[in-house]
Each structure stands twice: as C-alpha cells, then as structure tokens.
Amino acid sequence: MSEFEIKTIVNPQTADREYIREVAETKRALELWTMEPGFRERFLAAPEETLAAHDLSVDALAVKILADHDTAVKYQKTPPAELPRTVRRYRGFIREKVTERERMIKEFCVPKHPAFRAWRSRQINRCWAEFGARNRSLIHVPMTYELDLGCSVGCPFCGLMAPRLQKVCRYDEDAELWKGVLDFAKETLGDAAGQGTCYYATEPLDNPDYERFVDDFFEIFGIVPQLTTAISMRKPERTRAFLSDALKKYRRIHRFSVLSLDILHKIYETFTPEELTCVELLPQFTEAPQNKFANAGRARENDTLHVDEGDGNTISCVSGFIVNMAERSVRLITPCGASKAHPTGELRVAKEFFSDLDDFKQVLLSMIDRYMQPEFPKEQPLFLRPSISFRKTEEGVECFHSDKFRLEFRGADALSPALYQDILDKLQAGGKTACDVAEELTEETGAFPAHIFFILKKFEKAGLFLEPYECEGR
C-alpha cells in the first residue's frame, strides 16, 4: 500500500491493522488533549515522553499539528502530500465521518412521505436562519425511538431535561408491538425511519433488553442504531459485548458521554485505542479542558456549569417523531434555540398516546395529516417568522438573524427587485393569504399573479413563514 493512500475506517476497505492503530492512537492523543487536565502542557514540554507515558507511539509532530492551533496555522499552506502521514490519515478519517453525516442529512433521513418530506425541509431551512452554521451538525432525523420513560443518570447538564427513570419497556411483553411499530414506520417513511436511535431523552443501557430491541431494528432496517451511553462503565462487559456485536454487523460511529475524569481513566483501562476507533468520547465534565455544555435544558438552570453565554442552543437533532414505547406516546418535535418558552431547545408541536398497534398507525397518520402540509394552501394566512428579520436591498430583499445567517432574494427580469419589496411590504402587515397578496399587487402594480405566487413559494420553502399550526389563534 502506498503511504499516500487514504483508506476508509468506519467502513473499512481493508483489515489493515497498522493503519487503524495509527488513526486510533492519534484519536486517543487528541482526546487526552481535550479531556485530561495538564496533558496539553506536558505534551508541549516533552511530546514523545508524554505520548509514551500513555502507551502511544504516534508521530508527535502530527499530534501537534492536529491539536495545537498555532502549529496548525504554521502548516496551513503545506501541500497535503508534504504533511506527516498521520495527519493525512487522521484527516481522512474525519472527512469520512463528515461525509457520512452529510449523506444522512441530504439522503438517508429524507422521508418518502411527500408531506413529511416538505415539512422536514422547511424545518431544516428555518434552522439555517436560527442556528447558522451550527445547523450543519443537526441531522434532522425524521423518526426516533425511546424504550424507557425517563433516565436513571440524572446529569445536571441534561440538555433535554430527562426526568428520572419511571418505566422501562420489556421485550418479552412488547416485542410484537415494537416490530409492528418499526414495520409501519418503514412503510410510511421508507428507510428514513431506520436512521434514528433507540434513545432520546433516555439512557439506552437503562433498558435490560436494549440489545434484543436493537436486534429487531437490525432485522427490519439492516442498520444497528447509534448508541450514545453515559454509563459505558456501569457494566463494562455489557458495553464491550454490544460494541463488538454491533460493529461486526454494521460499522458506524457510536458515542460514550464521559461524565468524570475517573470514568475517562476507567474507559482507557478497559478499552484499547483500536477498540474505540468507532466510538467518540464526549467530554461532559467541568475539569475537561475543552468541555462545553450546550446552552439548553438543565445546564441553563445550573449556574455552576458555566454554559455558553448568548443565544440558547439545542442538542436535539430530530425534526419528526419520537415514539416512546414505555408510555406509548408519539411526540412531534423540531429543534429551536433554547429559551424560557422552549427550555430544551425543541419546538414541541404535539404529543399523542396510543394503546396498541392499530392505534399507533392511526395516531401517526393523523399527526402527519394535521401538522405536515406538503405546501401551504393559498387561503392560508401568512405570517413571517418573528425570529427572522427582513429588509429591502437595492437588489431585492434579504432576511437575516443576528450575524448567523443572511439570505438574499435578488430580483431580475420579470421578478424585479421592486416586486420582492412589494411582496415583503404586504407580508409584513401579517395575516394576508397568498391570494390576498396576489390580488392586491395585481391591482396596485399590474404584477402577474404567477410571479407573485412563485416568490411566495420561495419564501415558504425557505421556512420563512410560520407553519399553519403555529398560526392558530393569531
């Protein structure tokens, strides 16, 4: 193999142990940089010795380029072929993960149901306005599943404010319902229904039957859902067995939330770097040098956690349904910035309960029907989103949200800048329907209705209007 060749690791083209070891050890060195107090200083003073003290034999210069900002800047213009091999291989691994995430957003998570697809697309566009570049990391999963009600861990930073563990769904009692729910989700949404996880505001390993539920998920979708666990060390042998089986069936990235330095050390004593190649470690303890709690949920209430100042954030990446098997409920949510009104960074559109499989089918279809319009009816009163600002420009109009987002609509030919501006004036009055706008502007300016409807459709697709269910009572 040429040393310039970059191989995929999450979906390995080869069982090249040395290649994987090199990436895995680099990953561990970078984790130490972000999580182990004092590692950075020790490494900068004595790179090789510090890596050796952690049984790592990777190239110290490569670690420095990847971890240290000043060194990265120094090597910014170095042609890739002249960078240390380890840097190229590690960056190849990161690119592989990013590419997979982008495919999830744009391909795998797109539901086949047309109304659901249109609604999800509007939510994604709304989130560009509300989160800016941060929206790149939100998958907007259309369907996810919870096997318990609440969570046993009780993290003080929990972005979803998970309540205490109250109930778990047992496989022996609910296997048939579970398989029926998955089958119907697949029938309705297509393969996108298998892109979610089997946890949300829950801890997956709280459920003693988690592995059995996941086996059915694999049977139906051919996918092992991502595991994110905060209790990887509660029963290390269970975690190891799950990972080993899961990665044999379906290679993907899983995650451990690391709640303390002590847990980090236990993880490192238990798992080799190679075993954790496909497991991201998330620093979730205050001593970790690069720990950052999201400004959402309980972290916002807890002064000692030092959340980011400024706008509320979210850890939710669901634009769609959460099916809770323990309390038999379906909720429809989509991300938003955490605020007093939406402390968990989720717009909770609706929640309904079901009693059995037939009821689940009826509830799911009726929620899609009620809340997800393929397009807005022309008699629908239109309200611009209050979270987005609008102004006229020389070329048309633009919308923006602080310094995070700017979207320009430039007029040209028949769709002149003045037409965009006239439409904005009408919309800013609030509550006019597309028909009202067309009728008034045709009479006042002689504009063609077809052009007006075309521009209004562009605004609608960009997620700039409140959804019909958000306008109720206005």
Report the interface residues with ligand SF4, using CB under 6 A: 151, 153-155, 158, 160, 162, 201-203, 230
- For 164, phi then psi, to 5°, come to -65, 155
DSSP 235: S
Q: Which residues contact 326 (CB under 8 A, 6 or more apart)?
A: 146, 147, 148, 149, 166, 167, 168, 169
Our CB check for ligand SF4 shows the closer of 154 and 430 to be 154
What is the spatial distance between Cα 110 and Cα 121, in angstroms, rounded to a whole number? 9
Task: Tell which residue, 327, 345, 344, has the closest CA to residue 335.
Answer: 345
Considering the complex, what minimum distance in angstroms separates the CB of residue 201 from ligand SF4?
5
Task: Please identify, using beta-carbon distances, which residue of 174 and 203 lies nearer to ligand SF4.
Answer: 203
Structure tokens at 400: 């923006």
CB atoms near residue 358 (< 10 Å)? 11
| Closer residue to ligand SF4 (CB): 33 or 293 | 293
Distance CA 84, CA 127 (A): 38
Question: Given the complex with ligand SF4, which of 129 and 149 has the nearer CB atom?
Answer: 149
Q: How far is the CB of 227 from ligand SF4 (least distance, A)?
A: 12
CB of 155 to ligand SF4, least distance (A): 3
Query: Which residue lies nearer to ligand SF4 by CB, 9 or 205?
Result: 205
The 10 Å Cβ neighbour count of residue 252 is 17
* Residue 313 C-beta: closest distance to ligand SF4, Å: 14
The Cα–Cα gap between 18 and 273 comes to: 12
Phi-psi category of residue 72: left, alpha or beta, with phi > 0 → left and psi -120 to 50 → alpha: alpha
Beta carbons within 10 angstroms of residue 473's beta carbon:
4
CA distance 54 to 25: 10
Residue 183 beta carbon to ligand SF4: minimum distance, rounded to whole angstroms? 27
Task: Identify which of residues 91 and 234 has a Cβ nearer to ligand SF4 in the complex.
Answer: 234
Nearest approach in angstroms of CB 197 to ligand SF4 is 12
Q: State the minimum distance, in angstroms, from the CB of residue 417 to ligand SF4.
A: 48
> CA-CA distance, 200 to 120, in Å (whole number)?
19
Choose between 301 and 356: whose C-beta lies nearer to ligand SF4.
301
